[in-house]
Amino acid sequence: MSTWIELFYDLIFVAAILIFSAAVSHIHPSSDGTWIVLVFAASWWVWFTTTVCANRFHMSDFPHRLLLLFQMLVIVLMAIEARVSVTGDSTYLALEYGLLLLTIAVMYCRASRRPGADRTYARHMATLNTVIGVVFVVAAFLPETARLVVCGAALALLVAPSILLLRQMQEFSEADERHIIERMGAFTLIVCGESFVEIALTVSGAVITRVDVFSLVFEFVLVFAIFTSYFEDIPAAGLDQRRFGWWALLHLVAQISIAATAVSASKLIGLSINHRLPDAEILRLTVPLAVFYVALAGIGACTRRRPIGPLAVFRLATAAVVAWVGLAAWWIPWIHMEEALPLLTAVTIVHALAVVRLRRATHAVDPRVMAG
């Protein structure tokens, strides 16, 4: 089970996600939004590698807690700095991320001194995070353009080898597999909760109209439908350990998509009921939702649930229907927000209900059978 310090650690990401969401909500160019998403993904990577370290080596002693405390402080600073860096100065962002990677290096260095089969994995992770962390710190002193190129290359050289190194780990024990699934589920739950908080905070600061109520209800139902679709299946489906890296990265895609739908729904606040939703906003609302269902299909394929086909096909079909609704609202003049939101809500509800039924015709294969 998750330790209390891990749950406390997650609270910092509650604050960070709120800051990221607020930053995206108040900037308009799509390139700026993409930058915030990249910073969020980079901070998520810190959460993931820290969680894997705790999972493999069961670290929760006092020095580890001090490292987590330092990480928590830097992550909040990094989230705050993300919005500032949109203007073109990522100096502090690069420096902060370098420090985060160095804390991860220290964690894995401590883990490599422990007995066990994963010592080699820990040593390689410590070396990799040390080198890339130093690169980020040095990049903080470079000109902006050179800094972005160096940091982008360094991040790619961090993530790709780290995913490959996951193959060096020993197979999860039953308890460790349950722990990592629980940790990822908890983070998904955080993103779901933050999505509703985002739209509720936006509504609370406006003169409430019918559109605001529709937006609030839409996001609440949407989040609950997403919650049902995920938690009725994924936590109980186990993990195909051969696809652990894909399982993790697809969770990142799904979590970004959940947060993006909330930010897009918050853009509806203050519009009149007959106002034609701008084309870009329609895409920002429907694309993340469609991507979420595609990612969910991929996550399902990385679990031990069999057969894979029915749920995967249904999720991909749901993504296609969501995309069709978005295109219809974009191209057909007489379809406005008042028609599009109920349609999207209906699609998500139908999906959530159908998943429960489809899941009953499947089962999670024993991990020993998967290994064989």
Q: Is pLDDT at 315 greater than 70 in this prediction?
A: yes
Of 309 and 269, the structure prediction assigns the larger pLDDT to 309
Residue type, 246: W
The reply to whether 184 and 164 lie within a common domain is no
Instruction: Please indicate, yes or no, whether residues 109 and 225 belong to a single structural domain of this protein.
Output: no
Q: Are residues 283 and 178 in the same domain?
A: yes
26 pLDDT higher than 90: no
What pLDDT, on a 0 to 100 scale, did the predictor assign at position 268? 65
Least confident window among 95-104, 208-217, 235-244, 285-294: 208-217
Which of the two residues, 351 and 283, has the higher pLDDT score? 351
Q: Residue 108's pLDDT is what?
A: 97
Domain boundary residue among 151, 168, 185? Answer: 168
Residue 273 clears pLDDT 50, i.e. is over it: no
Provide the mean pLDDT of the chain.
86
User: Do residues 255 and 188 touch, judged by C-beta distance below 8 A?
Assistant: yes
Of the ranges 72-86, 173-187, 194-208, the best mean pLDDT one? 173-187
Least confident of 260-264, 309-313, 348-352: 260-264
Q: Are residues 217 and 359 in the same domain?
A: yes
194 close to 21: Cβ distance less than 8 angstroms: yes
Q: Could you tell me the pLDDT band of residue 283, with boundaries at 50, 70 and 90?
A: confident
Q: Does residue 197 share a domain with residue 106?
A: no
Please tell me the predicted confidence (pLDDT) of residue 279.
57
Confidence of residue 336 (pLDDT cuts 50, 70, 90): low
User: In this structure, are 363 and 272 located in the same domain?
Assistant: yes
Tens digit of pLDDT for each residue in 241-267?
Answer: 889 999 999 999 999 999 888 777 766
Same domain, 197 and 277: yes
Distance CA 137, CA 151 (A): 10
Average the pLDDT over 323-341 and give the result: 75
pLDDT (average), residues 40-60: 93
Residue where one domain finishes, among candidates 168, 190, 221:
168
260 and 120, same domain (yes or no): no
How does residue 281 score in pLDDT terms, banded at 50, 70 and 90?
A: low
Residues 49, 158, single domain; the answer is yes
What's the confidence (pLDDT) of residue 4? Answer: 83
Please tell me whether residues 20 and 151 are part of one structural domain: yes
Domain count of the fold of the chain = 2
pLDDT of residue 340: 73
What whole-number distance in Å separates Cα of residue 202 and Cα of residue 266?
6
- For residue 96, what pLDDT is reported? 95
Q: Are 304 and 238 in contact (CB under 8 A)?
A: yes
With a cut of 90, say whether residue 298 has pLDDT above it. yes
With CA atoms as reference, report the closest residue to 135 among 122, 121, 147.
Answer: 147
**pLDDT band (50, 70, 90) for residue 112:** very high
What pLDDT score does 198 carry? Answer: 72
Q: Crossing angle of helices 30-57/174-204, nearest 10°? A: 150
Alpha helices in 113-243 (DSSP H): 119-139, 144-165, 174-204, 210-231
Q: Give the residue with greater pLDDT, 152 vs 264.
A: 152
For residue 274, what is the enclosing H or E element? none
Q: Which domain holds residue 80?
A: 4-168
Q: Kindly report, residue by residue over 204-234, the tens digit of the pLDDT.
A: 655 555 555 666 777 788 888 999 999 999 9
The single residue listed with the structure tokens 């930010």 is 263
**Between 204 and 48, where is the model more confident?**
48
Mean pLDDT of 301-327: 93
**93 and 181 co-located in one domain:** no
Q: Would you call 364 helix, strand, or coil by DSSP?
A: strand
Distances (CA, A) of 47 to 10, 68, 242, 320, 355: 8, 10, 21, 32, 29
Contact call for residues 2 and 175 (beta carbons, < 8 A): no
367 and 239 in a common domain: yes
In this prediction, residue 372 has a pLDDT band, given cuts at 50, 70 and 90, of low
User: Which of 122, 152, 168 is the last residue in one of the domains?
Assistant: 168
Dist. CA 248–CA 47, nearest whole Å: 11
Cα 243 to Cα 317: distance, rounded to the nearest angstrom: 23
Rg of the chain over CA atoms, in angstroms? 21
